[in-house]
Copies of this chain bind each other. A is one copy, B any other.
């Protein structure tokens, strides 16, 4: 039943999350709150906004203030660990940067966000920048689409309201 892997006190030393490791690599001071937030972000498979991170952190463990979440995501962004995104709707959303470059397709009917990558586009982007006399430093590509033959659109999703999804 038991072999050689960690089976001492299961609660005592949870292994550092993916993002916590990145923090340590850059020499950031690791506090309890930062570890917690790092874990939430490591486990996230979507593009959470600050409130999402805050809620999940509270649910997962205990005391964090939303100010700390704001400070931490900003710190992580400044260290290249997170990327800030804006999909419309006012709030910033965050995307771990260690999953490679990708872009987003936003389903305009449901608000769902799909990630994708495209070699051909990467190349074209470099070419387009080159044509204008620039070398490419960064890029942002978002496609807005509608399912090819899909259910009726939900009109209330288009205008500046709450917006919540992936």
Query: Assembly of this chain: how many copies?
Result: 2
Question: A152 → chain B, closest Cβ, in Å?
Answer: 15
Instruction: Report if A108 contacts B (CB, 8 A).
Output: yes
Is B137 within 8 A of A125, CB to CB?
no
Instruction: Report if A55 contacts B (CB, 8 A).
Output: no
Residues from chain B with Cβ under 8 Å of A118 in the complex: 124, 128
| Tally of contact residues, A, Cβ under 8 A | 33
Is A146 within 8 A of B135, CB to CB?
yes
Is B132 within 8 A of A137, CB to CB?
no
Instruction: Report if A139 contacts B (CB, 8 A).
Output: yes
| Cβ-closest 5 pairs across A and B | A134-B145, A138-B144, A140-B142, A129-B145, A137-B144
